[in-house]
Amino acid sequence: MSTNLSRRNVLQLSMGAAAISLLAACGAKTEDSAANAPAAKNPVEIKVGYIADYNGAALMAVADQEGYWAKAGLSPKYLPFTNGPLAIQALGTDNIDVAYIGSGALWLPASGKAEIWAVNSVSNADRIIAQPGIKSLADLKGKKFAIPTGTSGDQLFSLALKKDGLTRADFEVLAMEPPAIVAAFASKQIDGAALWYPLIDSAKKGSPDLVELYSNEDFIDELTFPSTFVAGPGRAAKDKELATSFISVIKSSNDYRHANQDSTIALTAKFLKLKEEDMKAQAGVAKIFTTKELEELASKGTVYTWLNALQEQFKAAEKIKEVVDPKTFFNSELYVSTSKA
């Protein structure tokens, strides 16, 4: 009997030892697998310049809300700018990695100062405005007219002058920053200006009966005014992963905006700490496209046509010396081939 018990004990001990060995082996394998598994990448910081209006900030607000930055492995740091030329200047000093700009600043990419990574929308936000009682641009001859140099407002002014057979010499042209133009117009220190929404809404608070003489829509057959996201020249070639990651965020945010305008307006208002009604008004002055539509516009060369027409305008205004191949500052293949986040 004692012999049978000993055999049973030996068998139990052997089975227990085997089980412990098996568990230990499994544990060791799990630990080894965890040790050998690739470590999760820390998100890469990307410094993003934006303009504090619906067109310039909507996609940033959406990307934050929907987690597109995290999906693309990026962590944004936002820096606001009042206009495109200042943002591109910051690109040149490496203070930002990528920036939103309006069409008026696209002469800088055409000059080799930046490259386009993505098209945002087509703007109809710019206006030529005048004090109450002014009925035409000719009525402003000899009077003070303010422009934000190198912007889409400046560009619209050139088109309006050509249409009315006038030159800049016919006016007392003042180069001013957009916020300064708003203040000067509201206090009636200037008679006319080239400006854009939402800044015009601010100008209306001091001059509610101001006159809108021209808008982008008046020249839609001559020129299209796309807003874009740009980086420093050659940046995509140096850091393609950053470029494709950013483009993927923009594409996803763009489709969300197109499908959810009301919530995008609310998100942008929260992002900018502004009123929703202001955002709603601003949303009405831009034509937006689905990402698929933008890909088709890029692949078919339509965006290049826009950029060539803009360059012709920039050349006439003596902002650039010659028209260059738009492929030198916009790689449509990079945009089209990048998947959404």
DSSP state of 38: P
Q: With a cut of 60, say whether residue 29 has pLDDT above it.
A: no
Of 333, 291, 340, give the one whose Cα is nearest residue 117.
333
Q: Which residues of 290-318 are buried (b: 16+ CB within 10 A; e: fewer)?
A: ebeebbebbeeebbbebbbebbebbeebe
| Cα 61–Cα 64–Cα 67 angle in degrees, nearest 5 | 140
What pLDDT is recorded for position 176? 97
Q: With a cut of 60, say whether residue 232 has pLDDT above it.
A: yes
Q: What is the mean pLDDT of the chain?
A: 89
What pLDDT is recorded for position 27? 42
Average pLDDT of 192-215? 94
> What tens digit of pLDDT does each residue of 263-317 get?
999 999 999 999 999 899 889 888 899 999 999 999 999 999 999 999 998 998 8
Average pLDDT of 217-241? 93
Q: Which two tokens stand for residue 20?
A: 């412990």
Average pLDDT of 228-242? 98
Q: With a cut of 50, say whether residue 337 has pLDDT above it.
A: yes
Q: Please give the residue that has the higher pLDDT: either 99 or 28.
A: 99
What pLDDT is recorded for position 284? 87
> What tens digit of pLDDT does each residue of 115-136 get?
999 999 998 889 999 999 999 9
| Region at 53 (left for phi over 0; alpha for psi -120 to 50; beta for the rest) | beta
What pLDDT is recorded for position 38? 42
Q: With a cut of 90, say whether residue 142 has pLDDT above it.
A: yes
pLDDT level of residue 325 (50, 70, 90 thresholds): very high
CA–CA separation, 9 and 3 (whole Å): 10
Strands across the sheet with 126-130, in order?
A: 172-175, 144-147, 192-196, 126-130, 211-215
Are the C-beta atoms of residues 20 and 49 closer than 8 Å to each other? Answer: no
Q: With a cut of 50, say whether residue 17 has pLDDT above it.
A: no
> What tens digit of pLDDT does each residue of 105-115 get?
999 999 999 99
Average pLDDT of 67-90? 97
pLDDT level of residue 40 (50, 70, 90 thresholds): low
Strands across the sheet with 98-101, in order?
A: 74-81, 44-51, 98-101, 226-231, 115-123, 286-287
CA–CA separation, 144 and 234 (whole Å): 41
Per 3-state DSSP, what percentage of the chain is helix, strand, and coil (rounded to 5)? 55, 20, 30
Q: Which two tokens stand for residue 286?
A: 């831009």
pLDDT level of residue 182 (50, 70, 90 thresholds): very high
Average pLDDT of 78-91? 96
Cα-based torsion angle of the residue sequence 297, 121, 223, 196 in order, rounded to the nearest 10 degrees: 180
Measure Cα distances from 55 to 28, 205, 241, 258, 311 in Å.
55, 21, 26, 12, 22
Query: For residue 258, how many other CB atoms are within 10 A of its CB?
Result: 17
